[in-house]
Every structure is written in structure tokens, then in C-alpha cells.
Structure 1
Amino acid sequence: MAVPPPATPSVAPANPRPARHGAFHPLTVAAVEPLTDDAVALTLAVPPELRAEYRHAPGQHLTLRRRTPGGSEVRRTYSICSPAPAADGPGPALLRVGVRLVEGGEFSTFAHKEIAAGDVLDVMVPAGRFVLDPASAPAGAHYAAVVGGSGITPLLSIAATLLAARPDARFCLVRSDRTAASTMFLEEVADLKDRYPDRFQLVTVLSREEQEAGLPSGRLDEERLTSLLPALLPVRELTGWFLCGPYGLVLAAERALGALGVARTRIHEEIFHVEDTAAPAPAPSSTAAAHGRVTARLDGRSGTWPVREGESLLEAVLRNRADAPYACKGGVCGTCRAFLVTGEVRMDRNFALEAEETEAGFVLACQSHPVTEDVEIDFDR
């Protein structure tokens, strides 16, 4: 079953997209802190001359790049967990991200075993539209989030920024983790609870370990969420819902909220991991043109190049413009988002673009193949 893309958030990013949205800059690692046995937090120092470029809305992410000794390039995207800077203040002096070790993961293994304070990493400027702007939230706003595992990372920034900026706002966090020992940002979440006891509600569920108090262990599937959420909150009355984590949890929460009568426009999603066995299969390749041409506009410059058989638009552009923006190449992060000016494309998968974006003509270049012989896309829109 294909999953509909997330709805457009009712609140907009606090900062406009930088002029060069795919630009990388070298940033120094200020600290590496263990969070769990398999997760660390990286703190990056931003020099004064770059702080304006690294202004971010709560919920946005960074793409980190590593060049291997063999000359290849590895990129991975990690959400910013630190609060967003004030709209009328300078950009951030420090940025903090959480990195969970993935079995066989090239960058996460590098982060856990090799990165140390003083190292320099290539870091793309912030991107992403899974955001909440406190200034645009209505009076008395009440938000909730259902997160799993490292899905806590962007919500930590969102909740901390909202509660600090809006004394009238409330936030409920429902988080699912395997065990207490595997739970990321325990101290940071506990600090929010201590700082805002009347406005921050925390509900923790462990899937593989019983708790001394609280909810019984087990997965947060659709059936359980459908019965749990109404017991916690006036589900349909909330300003907005944020779902973040692995594909299965996000899908279960989306279906539960739909069954409980929550309007689709109030549900905002970001998927951190998609199991191949759970994800919708790509469309048949026979719908793509055997050959084609792509015209791409990027940072004010345009070019036209051939698209080889089987190539995505991103692959064709990258052969000629190494600065084309991308990160995961799996249709999840949305970094390669572009506007389809002319022509027709087929997207294999889409876990990043919202329904209104696809209807308006935006595509993921990493998943798009030309259906018509000529296609024009614009990364600057």
C-alpha cells in the first residue's frame, strides 16, 4: 500500500532557504558525547562569519559529508537537536546532532569510532520542512508528537524552542524505545519536564523492557495507539501532530490518528528509516523514457545534459554539476527537492514531499526518471 505524503505543516519555517541550499562549509567538532551504548551527540562550532547561513528552524537537519581514504564520498543526514536561535538574534554558535550507530553504517561507524573534538567535518547548511515556527503558532497552541528511537532528535529542538518562546503553548511527547539504556537524550527530555512541568507532558513506552511505573511494554502499533492517545489527550482538538521515526511507527500513528478523526492537514511526518520489506515498491521502469535530456537550474545557473538509460535526474545532473544538493538518495530526506518546470517524470518513491508540494509540481530528483524526452527542473524554487 502506498503511503500518502505528509500534509503541509500549518506553520512555516522561521528562516528562509539560504541562497545556496546545497552549500557545504567546514565546521569544527567542539564535543563528542556518548548518549547510549550505540548513540553519540556531535556538537559543531559555527564561526561568526557563517552563523547567518546556519540559522535553522526547529526540526531542520544537517547533511554531513565524509571523503573516504579511497576517494569516495559518503553523506548522511542528521536532525538538529539543539533549540533554534531567536528570530531576531544572531545565528547559532553551536549546532548539536545525534548519531545512532547503524549496523554496517559507514558514516555512523566513523562517527562512533573516529570523530573526536577538534576534527573538521564538511556540513551542509540546514534544510528540511518538518518544522514548527513558534511565532506562527496560534494562541494557546497544543501540539503532540509520537516518536520512535532517534526520531526524538528533531522533536527535542521543536519542543524546547516552542516552550521557551511561547509561555502559552503546551506539548505532549509520546516516545517509544527498545529499552531505557537505548533511550537517547534522556537528560534533555527530563530537563524539559522539570522546566515546564505544567506545559510539557511525557509518555514513555519501552518495547523490550518492563518499566517500574507507567505503561506496560510493547510496540506502539496502530491498535495500541488508537486506544492510548484518546486516554492522554483531546486528540482532535490539538493544534498539530508530529510523527517521526521508523516507517512502521509513523505509518501506524498516521492510521491511528486518521481513525480518531484528526484532519490530515494537522499531521506532519518525517521518516528516519524505511525497511525495504515494508516500503512500497518502485513503479515499473518501463514508464521511463529510454533516453532523455534534463535542463536544471541551480544557484542561478542552468545547463542541459543527456539522461542515460536507467539514470535518475539527480544522477544526470551530478555528472555535470557536482554541487547539486542531495543526501540520502533514497527518497527520504528531501534534500534534492526540485520544481518540475516542464516535461513529465516518474518518481520511484517519495517519503519526503508533502501532498501540496507534489500537487504544486515539486519532485525528488533522486527518485525521478524522465517520461518525456525533455525535462526541466529548478532546484532554486
Structure 2
Amino acid sequence: MARFHPLPVAAVERLTDDSVALTLTVPPELRAEYRHAPGQHLTLRRLMDGEEIRRTYSICSPAPGPEGPSTLRVGVRLVDGGAFSTYALKEINAGDELEVMVPAGRFTLDPAPGMYAAIVGGSGITPVLSIASTLLAREPEARFCLIRSDRTAASTMFLEEVADLKDRHPERFQLVTVLSREEQQAGLPSGRLDQERLTGLLPALLPVGSVAGWFLCGPLGLVRGAERALGELGVARARIHQEIFHVDAGEATVTTAAAPAHSTVTARLDGRGGSWPVQDGESLLDAVLRNRPDAPYACKGGVCGTCRAFLVSGEVRMDRNFALETEETDAGYVLACQSHPVTEKVELDFDR
């Protein structure tokens, strides 16, 4: 369920010219609710000109112990025209309060022995920083290779935090940095990390077949290219985990299918169910929200996965899906924000 609580802002730290880290204080009575796995995210909301704006930001701090976190830290990068990111960079100050949903997301790693690797671009470092720092602190038999791509050194988020990981775990943490628009004095030549380059680069960096889990995070082009490169190198799909941070309008494809003249959605949420009509052209999420405003959602763009639900019965079409992995859709999960009814009756379960 989309439970929000007001959390005080403890600190606002400038990371680059276009990004900040927000540290939020979690009061003792809410720490159990904000306990999170490494790699999960928070949804922040704000009323702007009478409209509720929600945005999702990954937690960069290590996962807490069973008592829950006393603070939470997220990274925010400015997006052109972004209402919330502009607010975060220009207006939020220490002492302010933000409405914050409890942690969510499945781009996570349960620490275990073995070799792990990540390929990230830009702000895609944020959840991977939590994953790597938690893994290396909790599992002495684990190793982690981070391959990160940024435009320039000045635009690179969490430089100090990544350097600290290298200092604390020099034998178990491998860092490879590629700058797309700036030459480095040492290391790899500049340029994009596309499929062709990764296919040749990865075997030279680490034993690809021995990596227990690959974590891909960043813009759609980088993630899809990395996924195809790993496939060429024989990596099983089950070992690849991905999270998209940005999708350009030209990269999105929309599916079409005939919709029934009249349709009804039945939804179960937080143990309670109900049935409601779906208006012409609206998504199943919007139909549910008109009657259950506590339904979980954030981006409404098919990227964050917050509105994931199990399709109990009926048939739907999804306009876009950049959040659910093949195993999830095969198991029957859909994104409610992108789903439209194909049959007259559709049943969703948000609790599974």
C-alpha cells in the first residue's frame, strides 16, 4: 500500500552542478516501516499548483540492520523540465519536510558469497552504491566489479563514496570508469559503452561466466546494450537484473489492441477488494485510484514498477514496460499504470 509519512530533511549535499544528495531523518517509531533492501527506492510527493507530483529516487545508503534506518539518503539529478528535480536542486533546504512513501522495488541483492558486477550510467550509480556497499560490508567472501559511464568527471555522482569503497575493500572492489565526452589521463579511452564495446571489453575485465549477478542501471540505451552484450557472451537471463532511469520519447513503443465497449476492474489492495468501471481510454491504475487513492504508483510511465500487480483473471495490454523483467510478466504480473482492459472483466491483486 502507498503509505506516506512526512520526514524531515537533515541535509542537502551538492554532488555536481546538476545533482544533490538528500538525507532524510527517520523517527524511531517509523524505522521498521523504512527498513529497506539494498537497491530499493523511495517515492517522494509534493502538491504543485494543485496537482500531486510523485517522483522515485533510489536509496544510495547501505541497507540497515533489523532495527531499521535512522536516516535515508537519495540522489537526485536535474531533469530538463523536471518539476520535482528542479524543486529539489533549487528549493529544498535542511529542516524542510518531505512526504515519503515506504521503500519499494525489486532491483535488489541479498548479500551472498561470490562475484557480482554492475554496469551503470549517470545516476544509475545510486542504487548500485547501496548494493555494493551492503554486499562488501556484510559478506567477506564477496567481490564486486563496478563499470560506470559518465559524460565527464565533473558530472560524476558519488565520486567520494565510490573512492571510499575502493579504499576500504581494495582486494574485493574493482572500479572501471569510462567518460563519454572527456579523455582520462589513465584508464579506458573515452566513448559510449554500447553493445559492441561491452562485448569486447567485459571478458578482458573479469571472468564473465563466473559472475553470480549482473546489475544494469541507467538510461534505456545503455541498459539494453549491456543486456544484449551479456547475452552474446553467454550469460543466462536469470543472472541479469536491470532498472531503467530514463527513457527518451523516441525510444518508447506503444502497443495497440481493441478495447471492450464496457469493462470492469476488480482489485485487491491491502486486504480489501472492490470492483469499478473503467472509463474509455483510462488505465486500470487510474480506474482504481478514483476509488482507492491509496493504490501504489509513482512515475505512471512504465519505468519504476511501483504499480506492479498480479493479473488474476482477464486480459490486458500494456502500452510500455521498462520495469518488469520477463520472468515477472511470464508469472502474470503487469504494470497497472500501463494496462488497459482487453476483456470486459479484469481482476488485479496488488498484495501478491
Q: Which TM-score band (shorter chain)?
A: over 0.9
Structure 1 counterpart SS, 2:293: coil
Which residue among 200, 216, 235 is the counterpart of 2:189? 216
Structure 2 spans left out of the alignment, 5+ residues: none
CA distance in 2, matches of 1:335, 1:269: 15
CA distance in 2, matches of 1:290, 1:116: 50
CA distance in 2, matches of 1:169, 1:297: 40
Q: Which amino acid aligns with 2:69?
A: P
Q: TM-score, normalised by structure 1?
A: 0.91
Aligned to 1:358: 329
Consecutive aligned runs of 4 or more in structure 1 exceeding 4 Å deviation: none
Aligned to 1:4: none
What's the Cα RMSD here?
A: 0.8
Q: Which amino acid aligns with 2:59?
A: I
**CA apart distance, 1:357:** 1.6
Maintained 8 Å contact 1:288/1:345: no
Q: TM-score, normalised by structure 2?
A: 0.99
Structure 1 spans left out of the alignment, 5+ residues: 1-20
Aligned to 1:349: 320
CA distance in 2, matches of 1:44, 1:291: 45
Matches within 5 A, 1:110-125: 110-125=87-102
Structure 2 counterpart SS, 1:156: helix
Matches within 5 A, 1:4-43: 21-43=1-23
User: Greater relative contact order (Cα 8 A, min sep 6): structure 1 or 2?
Assistant: 1
Maintained 8 Å contact 1:145/1:243: yes
Cα shift readout 1:17-51 (whole Å, capped 9, x = no counterpart): xxxx3111110000000000000000000000000
CA distance in 1, matches of 2:235, 2:251: 24
**CA apart distance, 1:82:** 0.1
Structure 2 counterpart SS, 1:376: strand
**CA apart distance, 1:342:** 1.4
Aligned to 1:129: 106
Percent of aligned pairs with the same residue? 79
Which residue among 152, 159, 166 is the counterpart of 1:193? 166
CA distance in 2, matches of 1:322, 1:35: 35
Matches within 5 A, 1:123-202: 123-134=100-111, 137=112, 139=113, 141-202=114-175
Aligned to 2:284: 313
CA distance in 1, matches of 2:81, 2:319: 25
CA distance in 2, matches of 1:233, 1:251: 20
Which residue among 54, 60, 63 is the counterpart of 2:43? 63
**CA apart distance, 1:277:** 1.2
Q: Which amino acid aligns with 1:23?
A: R
More strand by share: 2
CA distance in 1, matches of 2:260, 2:178: 48
Maintained 8 Å contact 1:290/1:310: no
1:282 aligns with 2:262: no
**CA apart distance, 1:302:** 1.2
Cα shift readout 1:83-132 (whole Å, capped 9, x = no counterpart): 0012xx31000000000001100000000111000101000000000000
Maintained 8 Å contact 1:35/1:41: yes
**CA apart distance, 1:321:** 1.2
Which residue among 195, 203, 206 is the counterpart of 2:179? 206
1:77 aligns with 2:56: yes
CA distance in 1, matches of 2:324, 2:100: 23
Indicate the larger mover: 327-336 or 346-355.
346-355
Q: Which amino acid aligns with 1:159?
A: A
CA distance in 2, matches of 1:223, 1:341: 41
CA distance in 2, matches of 1:288, 1:133: 41
Cα shift readout 1:289-314 (whole Å, capped 9, x = no counterpart): 23211111111111111101111000
Structure 1 counterpart SS, 2:249: coil
Maintained 8 Å contact 1:206/1:218: yes
CA distance in 1, matches of 2:324, 2:17: 33
